[in-house]
Structure 1
Amino acid sequence: MFEHEVTDIFFDLDHTLWDFEKNSALTFAKILAENKVDVDLASFQEIYSPINFQMWALYRENKIGKSELRYQRLRQTFDALNAPISDELINILAHEYIEQLSTFTHLLPNAVEILEYLSPKYKLHIITNGFQEVQERKLKGSSIHHYFDQVVNSEMAGVKKPHPRIFELALERARVQPRNTLMIGDDLEADIQGARAIGMKVIHYNSNNATTHEICIMINDLIEIKNIL
């Protein structure tokens, strides 16, 4: 399947192992109710999700910072809903969202099964653009932290995927050459193209109903990795 032996596998976290959409929806259901914010949750999620995606793209390109990302994704969502809300309350919700998000621990289908399958044969690692304190809590809260040798995040690297430096740092810490590695992630630009650019093998996990492509191996369920490795 692959030209060189794979010894180390690097996973993205959100949308690849950790069920971001489900956990995020549960978090908002809790904090909106607790803060007596009267909006329809389904409508909120429908508007928030693409805005959050856009904000993360800007963050990845260093066009906005962490605090602006956290504020703007909520401000733009409430504005689109025509729901009046103060900046003070938005800042409270933004803080509580980060605090509460990692308390929900749903993983994507077959995540634990594939980690159990891979861990005896390969060294497993994480490369994530997420915030360090949040990602650590997600890994520990969902009881998958022990599967991973190295957990590299964008704050640690000083750059975000797809910048080559974050992948290079991960390879340095894992003490492995790119030809012996595999990156598995959901984001075509950040995970797949970023990893390929420095010589890593890649599998695109299509957890977001992305357009089918011929760029690399594409899977729709993590369990399909068993047929590849």
Structure 2
Amino acid sequence: MRYKAILFDFDDTLVDFHDAEVYAYGHLMKTYRVPKHLHDYNRFKTINQNHWEAFQRGEISKSEVLSHRFIETFDTYGMTVDGAEADVIFRDGLATAPIKWLEGMEWLLEKLYTRYALAIVTNGVTDTQERRIARTNLEEIMDYIFISDKVGVQKPHVGFFNSVFEMFPQYQKEDFLIVGDSLTSDIQGGLNAGIDTCWLNHRQLSNQTGIQPTYTIESTKALAELLL
């Protein structure tokens, strides 16, 4: 394989984010004493996704995303909450949720560690992501960890990747590969930055975006076959 540096998204690429988010949402509902039969995670998921997409389009700020997603969610329950307070509670749940690796990923990273430069490239809030990553062994095997909140810009913006390239001056763009589960964030980001991309489509979703990855795979095993 001709690549020298592999950039990994974190959530739903290295570890399962869905389970962590469900855990955090349950933690939030319990804190606000919402009856368990009303814990509709899918309701929040839709509202949350709509807010992040609006942020990516530049229509709202990140702080508005973090608070308004909960104001709107609780409004559907007929409740009024402080959105910023709810966000702190939710992110504390994320940070303390059990870490669940994607099948075979921890083994694969240990193999890749001796062959490539490795980095995490993740969108998220610094405190939350650092607390979650600290509960894995990733700090020991990653050369760098890039969190959008700390970088100052999110994937897919090219500015995020420019910050990555600055830390790897020994490599050219053709030496990089980004691996991620999100077409609009990871893959589009790689395309914007001019590097090869690998869509880890482990949920077997259909691609209706027009975004074309360099590689499309559906399992960690397939990623191992590509990189080892």
**Which category describes the TM-score, using the shorter chain as reference length?**
0.7 to 0.9
Give yes or no for the alignment of 1:93 onto 2:86.
yes
The answer as to whether partners of 1:29 and 1:41 remain within 8 angstroms in 2 is no
1:64 aligns with 2:60: yes
Tell me by how many angstroms 1:24 deviates: 1.0
Letter in 1 for 2:110: E
Tell me: CA distance 1:223–1:145, structure 2 relative to 1, closer, same or farther (3 Å): farther
Relative to the length of structure 1, the TM-score reads 0.87
- In 2, Cα distance between the equivalents of 1:227 and 1:41? 44
Q: Which residue of 2 aligns with 1:224?
A: 222
SS in 2 for 1:228: helix
Secondary structure in 2 matching 1:87: coil
The residue aligned with 1:47 is: 43
TM-score by length of 2: 0.88
Instruction: Tell me the matched-pair count.
Output: 222
Residues 128-177 of structure 1: CA deviation (Å, up to 9, x unaligned): 12111211111111332222111112233322111111111101112222
Counterpart in the other structure of 1:112: 106
Stretches of structure 1 that go unaligned for 5 or more consecutive residues are none
Structure 2 segments unaligned to the other structure (5+ residues) = none
RMSD of the alignment, in Å? Answer: 2.0
SS at match of 1:102: helix
**Aligned pair in 2 of structure 1 residues 87, 31: CA closer, same or farther (>3 Å)?**
closer
Counterparts of 2:56 and 2:202 in 1: how far apart (Å)? Answer: 20
Question: Which residue of structure 2 lines up, in the alignment, with residue 137 of structure 1?
Answer: 131
CA gap of 1:86–1:168, structure 2 versus 1, over 3 A, is same
Please give the secondary structure, in 2, of the residue aligned with 1:145: helix
Aligned to 1:167: 161
- Note if contact 1:39-1:83 (Cα within 8 Å) is conserved in structure 2: no
